[in-house]
Chains A and B, each alone.
Chain A
Amino acid sequence: MSSALVGPGARLVDAVSGDVLGGGDLRDAVLDHREVIDALPPGPVFLLLGNTVRDVLRYLAAWTSGRPVCLLDPTVEPDALRRLVEHYRPTAVFGVDGDRECPAGYRLAATGSGDAWRCLVPDTAPVDPRLALLMPTSGSTGNAKLVRLSAPSVLANARAIVDALDIHADDVALTCLPLSYSFGLSILNSHLVAGATVVVADGGPFTAGFWLTVRQHQVTSLSGVPFTYESLARHGWTAEDHPSLRVLTQAGGRLDPGVVSHFHEQLARHGGRFHVMWGQTEAAPRMTTLHPDDLPAKLGSVGRPLPGTSVSVRTDGDGETTRADVVGELVFRGPNVMLGYAHSRADLGRGDDQGGVLHTGDLGRVDADGVVWLTGRLGREVKVAGTRINLDDVEGLLSTWSPVAAVWRAGRIEVFTERPQDVRPIARHLGERLRAYRSMLAVHHVTRIPRRANHKVDYPALVGHAR
């Protein structure tokens, strides 16, 4: 069952060297890495998954080994990695370079799959046999919460995407998003399942060599977050210069409808398609797609649920409903829903907490045609350049300077402090802890952080606060 992730004919291409791996060679290369994993004591493994062919092979090896693998950004902050290792006691951590300090209870070992940290006294707590992937829910805030995904849920989603996007064996995808990010991984999975080709490259549309790779390998499919498409549109990119491209997909947050139209029209002119998608790591990860046939009528929506899934709405007053145009929290049902969250090693033995139902935390409605429209987000999670960050976690990082209040405003995380002398140190600390999002952070002084009668921070008032 699990090995079915790589369909017949699937190929990996190294964008740098041009080397192609497929068929028996691909299987053998995966097996080489898998032998290392199979020789380990039972338990989960961690993988710092970069956008390289070697890391993809390590990922596929872990997948076929039948044991859970936690996929992490290779630039994960040392503190965040240490905390995750402490919480989950993995049997081994792969993809660690020599510069990282080996944590207590582990030793650095040279293996047939590169340098790894080996656990000295492996944790023998049971692991649910269905568990295949563990993925963090938020960017770099160091929150140890992981999403538990079963192999069948990941496969179900990959196959539903193949249907919805009509992916064929002659398609060529490029890994233009980080593979440790659930949407980026989903591009790899869905194309491998379809027996298509995946060109493995590091870096996005604004890195040197990217468009040369698209031309050289006749790439047919690219994916991006809103930021990608906003930037491409602003800098005059046109699809006409890249005739091999047939499908562009977008997920990771709301894209301005004007930009959606722009790309839809460009691609439609030469028979291509632009797909807006809605997803969450908890749904392995994609839930809906807006098919170009629904444009322009459904412009601004995220389209229809993937085949075999459904979306309803839960409201405080009426409970759950499938009535059209009722606004509330969107509830997703499908075979791709996670088993649940994990907060510790013991949770890896938990069964299915969800029963195929996911309360998404996204607010919206479903119209009479079954098309899903998003209107906002419950709670305090925001998407920064496609990555989910909890504003409460941001405040938690700054506990030294308490009280602080973090809000999302005008495409940035803005932090407020009542002490002007704290602005600089907070900015410096935040810039270090959330390095990847540094340009999307701002720290301000405010005379008094507004509060409600119950003394909780009045975030809407703070968002409205004049600079």
Chain B
Amino acid sequence: MSTHSSLLEVFVKVLDLPDDVDPVSLNYRETSSWNSLAHMEIVQSVENVFGVSLSVEEVIGFSSFAQGLEILAEHGLVDG
């Protein structure tokens, strides 16, 4: 499974979103179920799924789907 689809699966599961949600729309300010507790759950889930360990700065920076992909890319998780 690609990084993109695995990450989307994390969001869908933690935030209880429809499977066909548009990942571009996912960000901390605008996705209503994405609150501070859910944020930590997303981070924990990402760490488990991808086997990475995120720093406090990365946790704070993980505020949209796109930024999540960038952070994972810095950990060497790049699609294709």
Partners in one complex: yes
Residues of A within 8 A of B (CB): 203-208, 210-211, 227, 231-232, 235-237, 385, 427, 431, 435-440
Which residue of chain A has its CB nearest to the CB of B40?
Answer: A231
Which of A210, A211, A235, A437 has the largest count of B CB atoms less than 10 A from its CB? A235
In angstroms, Cα B41 to Cα A206, docked, is: 12
Any chain A CB within 8 A of the CB of B33? yes
- The reply to whether A439 and B60 form a contact with Cβ atoms under 8 Å apart is no
- Cβ-closest 5 pairs across A and B: A439-B41, A439-B38, A235-B56, A237-B56, A439-B37
Task: Chain A residues near B40: list those with CB within 8 A.
Answer: 206, 227, 231, 439
Given A204-B36, A207-B60, A210-B60, decide whether A439 and B14 contact each other with a Cβ distance below 8 A: yes
- The reply to whether B36 and A438 form a contact with Cβ atoms under 8 Å apart is no
Q: CB within 8 A of A206: which of B16, B32, B33, B56?
A: B56
B20-60 CB contacts (< 8 Å) to partner A = 32-33, 35-41, 43, 53-56, 58-60
Given A206-B59, A206-B60, decide whether A235 and B54 contact each other with a Cβ distance below 8 A: yes
| Shortest Cβ distance from residue B7 to the other chain A in the assembled complex, whole angstroms | 17
Which residue of chain A has its CB nearest to the CB of B54?
Answer: A235
- The reply to whether A205 and B37 form a contact with Cβ atoms under 8 Å apart is no
- The reply to whether A206 and B39 form a contact with Cβ atoms under 8 Å apart is yes
Given A227-B40, A431-B16, decide whether A205 and B56 contact each other with a Cβ distance below 8 A: yes
Chain A binding surface, main DSSP class: helix
- The reply to whether B37 and A385 form a contact with Cβ atoms under 8 Å apart is yes
Count residues of chain B with CB under 8 A from any CB of chain A.
Answer: 20
- The reply to whether B35 and A435 form a contact with Cβ atoms under 8 Å apart is yes
In angstroms, Cα B35 to Cα A203, docked, is: 11
In angstroms, Cα B56 to Cα A207, docked, is: 10
- The reply to whether B37 and A232 form a contact with Cβ atoms under 8 Å apart is no
- The reply to whether A211 and B56 form a contact with Cβ atoms under 8 Å apart is yes
Q: CB within 8 A of B60: which of A208, A227, A236, A427?
A: A208
Any chain A CB within 8 A of the CB of B63? yes
Which residue of chain A has its CB nearest to the CB of B42?
Answer: A439
Task: Chain B residues near A439: list those with CB within 8 A.
Answer: 14, 37-38, 40-41
In angstroms, Cα B60 to Cα A236, docked, is: 13
Task: Chain A residues near B41: list those with CB within 8 A.
Answer: 439
Task: Chain A residues near B58: list those with CB within 8 A.
Answer: 235
Task: Chain A residues near B39: list those with CB within 8 A.
Answer: 206
In angstroms, Cα B58 to Cα A439, docked, is: 20
In angstroms, Cα B41 to Cα A437, docked, is: 11
In angstroms, Cα B20 to Cα A131, docked, is: 53
Q: CB within 8 A of B38: which of A207, A236, A438?
A: A438
- The reply to whether A208 and B56 form a contact with Cβ atoms under 8 Å apart is no
Task: Chain B residues near A431: list those with CB within 8 A.
Answer: 16, 33
In angstroms, Cα B16 to Cα A227, docked, is: 22
- The reply to whether A206 and B35 form a contact with Cβ atoms under 8 Å apart is no
* 8 A-B pairs (CB sep. < 8 Å): A206-B36, A206-B39, A235-B53, A235-B54, A235-B58, A236-B55, A435-B33, A438-B38
Q: CB within 8 A of B33: which of A204, A237, A438, A440?
A: A438
In angstroms, Cα B41 to Cα A431, docked, is: 15
- The reply to whether A436 and B35 form a contact with Cβ atoms under 8 Å apart is yes
Task: Chain A residues near B35: list those with CB within 8 A.
Answer: 435-436, 438
Task: Chain A residues near B38: list those with CB within 8 A.
Answer: 438-439
In angstroms, Cα B17 to Cα A431, docked, is: 12
Task: Chain B residues near A205: list those with CB within 8 A.
Answer: 56
